[in-house]
């Protein structure tokens, strides 16, 4: 039986979400460790990877269960008891055997959270603090990313990908209480792409962003810090 697990996690102390041979200190590494203890040996497949320090409020993974795990309510309870407190299983539900957490996904939604002012130890791992942000300019420039573009200048060097073309369905900014939230939805994202886009919004002019998107001039750019980024939703075909 194939099931979906919807996860939320604090990525601060993990080396990303994807299992690594050199370390089990990843989100999926911790999940697979607990699943193996429960007699579930099948590979866990996620909708996509998140980098070191990046969080998720809605990460989707699928796994095939052995016949003796037919009580999904019990499975969710046991997983939450055994997993580190920084990982929570929000939902467990059955899907068809042809469902694939990654390839069946229609789009992914990420949010980036910025707060203007001095950093504090209670929020430092979850919000990117800035001395000042021109919200009007940011709200206008984020729309430059809408549509299909070749994001070759907005991805980490050495990324293993066949194509750097992606389509951004939604890109907008809004204020929530004392935070600025940047929202991006696309058919997929390249490695570190969102952090580079946020970095561009914070450091480059509209013309410079457009030149990078058109691949006519590659302005120097640093990715925004990982701690402000959240995988917020994965949408699937009906």
Angle between helix 193-203 and 206-213 (nearest 10): 150
State pTM to two decimals: 0.94
- Residue 68: CB atoms within 10 A of its CB come to 9
- Measured CA to CA, the distance from residue 95 to residue 4 in angstroms comes to 7
DSSP 17: S
- Measured CA to CA, the distance from residue 223 to residue 103 in angstroms comes to 27
Q: How much is the pLDDT for 22? A: 55
* pLDDT band with cut points at 50, 70 and 90 for residue 161: confident
84: tokens are: 């580190």
CA dihedral 182, 185, 188, 189 (to 10 degrees): -10
User: Which residues are the active-site residues?
Assistant: 51
Q: How much is the pLDDT for 162? A: 84
Q: How much is the pLDDT for 21? A: 62
Angle between helix 72-82 and 27-37 (nearest 10): 120
196: tokens are: 């580079």
What pLDDT digit, counting tens, does each position of 6-56 carry? 999 999 999 888 776 655 789 999 999 999 999 999 999 999 999 999 999
């Amino acid at each position: 039986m194939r099931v979906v697990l919807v996860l939320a996690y604090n990525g601060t102390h993990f080396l990303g979400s994807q299992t690594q041979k050199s370390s089990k200190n990843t989100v999926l590494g911790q999940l697979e460790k607990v699943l193996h203890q429960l007699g579930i040996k099948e590979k866990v497949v996620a909708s996509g990877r998140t980098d070191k320090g990046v969080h998720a409020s809605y990460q989707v993974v699928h796994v095939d269960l052995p016949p003796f795990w037919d009580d999904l309510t019990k499975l969710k309870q046991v997983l939450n008891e055994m997993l580190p407190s920084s990982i929570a299983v929000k939902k467990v539900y059955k899907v068809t055997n042809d469902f694939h957490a990654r390839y069946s996904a229609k789009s992914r939604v990420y949010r980036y959270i910025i707060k203007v002012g001095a950093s504090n130890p209670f929020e430092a791992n979850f919000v990117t603090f800035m001395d000042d942000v021109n919200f009007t300019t940011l709200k206008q420039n984020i729309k430059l990313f809408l549509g299909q573009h070749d994001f070759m200048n907005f991805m980490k060097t050495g990324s293993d990908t066949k194509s750097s073309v992606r389509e951004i369905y939604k890109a907008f900014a809004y204020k929530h209480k004392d935070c600025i939230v940047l929202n991006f939805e696309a058919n997929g994202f390249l490695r570190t792409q969102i952090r580079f886009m946020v970095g561009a919004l914070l450091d480059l002019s509209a013309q410079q962003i457009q030149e990078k998107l058109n691949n006519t001039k590659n302005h120097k750019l640093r990715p925004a810090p990982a701690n402000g980024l959240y995988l917020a939703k994965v949408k699937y075909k009906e």
